[in-house]
Structure 1
């Protein structure tokens, strides 16, 4: 699917006007992709199932779980 020049320009303008929201949604999307990537297919699944990923993914998820619990407690 080809994106028009006007759509690219509009996206660029939006990112410039909303840098915090753009940064936040990018971080959020990356986190969800990492957590759910095993089922998604594509590059994320390949990276997770690679030699390196298969050795580290479970432990990284556990570390993330602990960090999430701490972050939630701080917000209470």
Structure 2
């Protein structure tokens, strides 16, 4: 995601929020890394189609909220499987 953030030249407000979709702070084996990767890929695909629209800002914000839910679910599943 860092490379995408560095090359993304869209709305400053969106650029500031993209840091919350960067898994760089997680260890390689962390169960949430796949969640970050999937959502990061979605953002990379959708932003060029929606940039400049206020709804894009709201969409990224809601995606970050959803990411938090998916991360909690992935961590819980990982813990339940005893990994």
TM > 0.5 between the two? no
Rg larger in structure: 1
> TM-score w.r.t. structure 2 length?
0.36
> TM-score w.r.t. structure 1 length?
0.39
